[in-house]
Amino acid sequence: MSDKLQWFREAKYGLFIHWGLYAIPGGTWKGQPSPHGTEWIMKNMKIPLAEYKELAKQFNPVDFDPYYYVRQAKKWGMKYIVFTAKHHDGFAMYDTKVSDYSIINTPYGKDIVRQLADACRDENMTLCLYYSQMQDWEHPDGNGNTWDFNLKNQDFKRYFYGKVVPQVKELLTNYGKIGMVWFDTPYDMPIELCRELADVVHECQPECLINGRIGYCLGDFREAADNAIPVLSQEECWESPMTLNHTWGYSHTDDNFKDPKTVIENLVRVVGKGGNLVLNVGPDEFGKIPERSEEILSEVGKWLEVNGKSIYGTTGIPNFPYMLPWGDLTYNDETHTLYLHVKNYPNFPYRILLTGLKTKAIAVNILGSKKPLKISQSYEIARDENRLYVFLPEECPDDIDTVVEVKLEDKAKAQTVGTAKK
Ligand code: H79
């Protein structure tokens, strides 16, 4: 295990921010809805580049306050921020010398990445930058814009060496320490160029992580599919990118938000399978985070204030064999502590059963309370079955997820399912 992944392994929960020119149409173009993937509106509706570029002349996010973003992310319990420095539309949200197509040439005129980098440095937050390396709908040689440019004349290398490499260098030399470059949609980019891009990152900042979507498993960890959680737990680091509603960029119409209970459930599932959750908000054209997103994240943040020990620095128990009818589990291997996440609170006799744990439990309480809980742990020899009953208070302490902390005598060991004698 490489050391530079340490912060990422412990962080578990990050804030994704999708913000760019697409926040202005917010999923509607000339009265026509393009509700899915509002950040894809240019491609979805084949908007001519010249027309889409007009948005830059309007972009003036006067409400954008980088310190507010970073402080909110902290309050919400998030340990890193991933910001879209350049999405597929090709527009740079920072001061780039490589292209005129940037935030500098808007009425706003100020470098957003610079402001976020300053605020993150002052507030001790890890800043990571999203960069769309293959798709670029502004560059004639970038991938994706088939309505403005003739594919036959395309020379991907011209785009790669003319825009991608120098822009990634700018991002990694002008803004201090960057935690990770978050690449996306490598499609069929040639492996040699992916390797070169990884080398560019490493040369500029050897400690900087590269996510899995650089392609060909050249990243430092695996990225799950968008909004997907694997069934099985993974031993290597991985991350699940998820958005709060259906779209990543701001939407005027998409109010299909996940409620706080669902977000917490997803976070616990991801963490219990060894991953990180990077959860997205899409600020509007003025730089304001949607109110509903703020409400949800702040509920989750309140839960984390009490229950953070069950998330940060935890994973699952390797090869734990059972699904749990009452919830999920997470586990801290350094402190030998198990966390039982009770989502479906039991009725009388108010107990939950954990089958399959071999290690002895020595102290049990609910997070946020020091009161010890009664337990009963046994081993049934003929069935070769370990059982741990935990007796909970009659009244459910937390409707969303009551976390039971179980201190173990040693490293957690799980039983295997199956009776064959070895
Ligand atoms: O940045 C976010 C997405 O824009 C990006 N990845 C996350 C993190 C992404 N790029 N490609 N894809 C996701 C997959 C493509 C999905 C599509 Fe669609 C289906 C493109 C067109 C149809 C989703 C639905 C986007 C527009 C409509």
Out of 40, 43, 45, 188, give the residue to mutate to test ligand 1, the one with the largest number of ligand atoms within 8 Å of its CB. 40
Residue 87 CA, closest ligand 1 atom number: 1
Cα 299 from Cα 303, distance rounded (Å): 6
66 touches ligand 1 (CB under 6 Å): no
Please count the residues of the chain. Answer: 422
User: What's the pLDDT score for residue 35?
Assistant: 74
Task: Write the CB contacts of 210 (distance below 8 Å, at least 6 apart in sequence).
Answer: 180, 181, 183, 198, 201, 218, 219, 220
Classified by CATH at the fold level, domain 327-408 comes out as Immunoglobulin-like (2.60.40)
Ligand 1 pocket residue status of 105, Cβ below 6 Å: no
pLDDT of residue 211: 98
Q: Which amino acid is at 323?
A: M
Q: What pLDDT, on the 0 to 100 scale, is given for residue 328?
A: 97
Do residues 262 and 270 touch, judged by C-beta distance below 8 A? Answer: no
Long-range contacts of the stretch 155-158 (C-beta < 8 A, 24+): 156/189, 156/193, 157/193
| Beta strand 28-29 pairing with 32-33 | antiparallel
Q: Homologous superfamily of 3-310 in CATH? A: Glycosidases (3.20.20.80)
Rg (CA), the chain: 24
Structural domain boundaries in the chain: 3-310, 327-408
Which of 226, 242, 277 should be mutated for ligand 1, with most atoms under 8 A from CB?
A: 226
187 lines ligand 1 (CB under 6 A): no
Identify which of 131, 136, 184 to mutate to test ligand 1's pocket (most ligand atoms within 8 A of the CB): 184
Q: Whose CA is nearest to atom 25 of ligand 1?
A: 37
From CA 237, how far away is CA 8, in angstroms rounded?
Answer: 8
pLDDT at 416: 82
Residues of the chain with pLDDT under 70: 1-2, 418-422
- State the closest ligand 1 atom to the C-alpha of 39, by its place in the atom list counted from 1: 4
pTM comes to 0.97
Helices (H) and strands (E) counted in the chain, each on its own, are 10, 17
- Residue 173 CB coordination number (10 Å): 11
Taking a C-beta distance cutoff of 8 angstroms, is the pair 181, 201 a contact? yes
For position 418, what pLDDT does the model report?
A: 65
CB of residue 226 inside a 6 A radius of ligand 1? yes
The pLDDT score that the predictor gives to residue 242 is 98
pLDDT in tens, 260-304: 999 999 999 999 999 999 999 999 999 999 999 999 999 999 999
- DSSP 3-state assignment of 210? strand
**Residue 248 Cβ contacting ligand 1 at under 6 Å:** yes
* C-beta 37 within 6 A of ligand 1: yes
Residue 42: Cβ-neighbour burial (10 angstroms; 0-12, 13-18, 19+): buried
Closest ligand 1 atom to 18 CA: 1
Measured in Å, residue 184 CA sits from the centre of ligand 1 at 10
Residue nearest to ligand 1 atom 1, measured at CA:
248
The tens digit of pLDDT for each residue in 165-197 reads 999 999 999 999 999 999 999 999 999 999 999
Whether 77 is in the pocket of ligand 1, judged by its Cβ within 6 Å, is no
pLDDT at 251: 97
Closest C-alpha among 43, 32, 25 to residue 147:
43
Segments in 54-128 forming alpha helices (H)? 66-75, 112-123
Using alpha carbons, list the distances in angstroms from residue 43 to 75, 141, 248, 249.
36, 15, 15, 14
Ligand 1 lined by 241 (C-beta under 6 Å): yes
pLDDT value of residue 36: 83
CA of 247 to the centre of ligand 1 (A): 9
List the Cα angle 53/26/171 in 5-degree steps. Answer: 60
